[in-house]
Chains A and B, each alone.
Chain A
Amino acid sequence: MTAHFAAYSFVDRITEFIDGSRAHGFFWVPPGIRVFPSCLVAEAVGQLAAWVAMSKVDFRGRPVAALATQTRFLGVTLPGDVLELAVEIEDCDDNMVVYGGSAFVEGRQVIELEHCLGPMLPVEDFDAPHALRERLSLLRDRGAPRGRFSGVDLPETVVIEHVAGKSLRATLNVPREAPFFADHFPRNPVFPATLLLDAQIRIAADLVEKSCGPQFASPVASRMTHFKMRAFITPGQEVELEATLSGQDALAARVMLSAKVAGKSVATARVEFAAREPT
């Protein structure tokens, strides 16, 4: 089985497609995988928007992750769940796409993305346009074969500095080879921004758990804002992650996230963890 449209593809079927405007679709999360983190749910919503955007510009361009105003993490998605995806395109041309979207499991909303912006880059730099066209036809017709995603090894982070109650720094070594690179993207392997975010949120959760008291035990991110991806991360690069506690009250703990490669900022975001209800 090839990794293309399998190792990092999260739309199996598109059931509504209004050109340049909106779409509705599904992803069947394979039951055999270990986890399906929220960042992959966000990726699924983004990929549905990407299909609408690529079709709108006749596959001259493809969007890449750049800005996300707000993402609300509303619930977990488990292996075996059916993800129902919906996107609304706010603006789309040869330069960029702006969209919002949601994902649901059995009618329960699990994620909401607001005002996301992706610059459109030449599609031929990333993938074969004809392969993308054929794939979209398949998704809109009978749908792609389900269960082709076999999970993803989330790259480990290694903590290098922890300033109690304040910040945490860690390194993330992007693998030189991984199945997802063949799908993201076949002609230009790029470390997915959503996997970077997953790692960043994990170290932020670690910081919050260590710093913010029992009401933040086993913290789960509730909201991410100000996400900005400045540059691609390529196979084999070492990324320095930093999480800095920026505020805490009875309701939430807030953390600023940054990622650097060779001292240069590649991504920034802010993430919030809701406090647990007292029992």
Chain B
Amino acid sequence: MTQTEVTKEEIMAVYPKVAETMADALGCDVEDVKLDVSLIEGLDAESIDFLDMVFRLERTFKIKIPRGKIVENARGDLPEAEFEQKGIVTEKGMAQLRSYLSEIPAERFKTPMKVADIPRLFTPETFCKLVVHAQREAQPAA
């Protein structure tokens, strides 16, 4: 998995299609899918909507996004035992999460944070990054 940071240009290249796909899944206007809106708190997304969005993004972009990929990407090279303990994200894990979800304002990272609550942080930008990562992984190695 490549850990190279996703550039703003890469994000903006996929954002229009991501926003359209998410609006379709959530039944909202595409204008409401701002890059930085919280999907759960701002757009009332539920767990089934996350499945739906991933499912649609896979088909829209012809990519494969394994379940739990966002958290896996966020964890990066950190072993699972160091990322979380008993369902709570560790200090090291929080630092890793802040770094991966750099688009999310610092005040939204509440501690202690349950692993199950990580999706509360997700925004459309998170999904744009997910798509860019999946596109990179789909490309044959140079």
Contact = CB atoms under 8 A, between A and B. Distances in A.
A88 B59 CA distance: 17
Contacts of B109: none
B67 A67 contact: no
Interface string A85-116: 00000000101101000000000000000010
Contacts of B67: 93, 95-96
A230 B48 CA distance: 6
B29 interface: no
A95 B51 CA distance: 10
A57 B51 CA distance: 19
A123 interface: no
Task: Give the secondary structure class of B's interface.
Answer: helix
Interface string A208-243: 000000000000000000101110000000000000
A119 interface: yes
B20 interface: no
Contacts of B46: 230
B52 interface: yes
A229 B51 CA distance: 12
Nearest to B52: A67
Interface string A62-80: 0000110000000000000
Contacts of B51: 66-67, 96, 117, 119
B79 interface: no
A66 B27 contact: no
B71 to A, nearest CB: 13
B24 to A, nearest CB: 8
B21 to A, nearest CB: 12
Given A67-B48, A230-B48, A98 B27 contact: no
Interface string B11-30: 00000000000001001000
A93 to B, nearest CB: 7
Contacts of A230: 46, 48
A229 B55 CA distance: 15
A93 B51 CA distance: 14
Given A95-B67, A96-B67, A117 B27 contact: no
A268 interface: yes
B48 A268 contact: no
Given A95-B67, A117-B51, A230-B46, 20 more contacts: A66-B48, A66-B51, A67-B48, A67-B51, A67-B52, A93-B67, A96-B67, A115-B55, A115-B59, A117-B52, A117-B55, A119-B48, A119-B51, A226-B24, A228-B48, A228-B49, A228-B52, A229-B48, A230-B48, A268-B27
13 contacts: A66-B48, A67-B52, A96-B67, A98-B55, A115-B55, A115-B59, A117-B51, A119-B48, A119-B51, A226-B24, A228-B49, A228-B52, A230-B48
Interface of B: 24, 27, 46, 48-49, 51-52, 55, 59, 67
Query: What 9 A-B pairs come out closest when comparing CB atoms?
Result: A95-B67, A230-B48, A117-B55, A67-B52, A66-B48, A230-B46, A228-B52, A228-B48, A268-B27
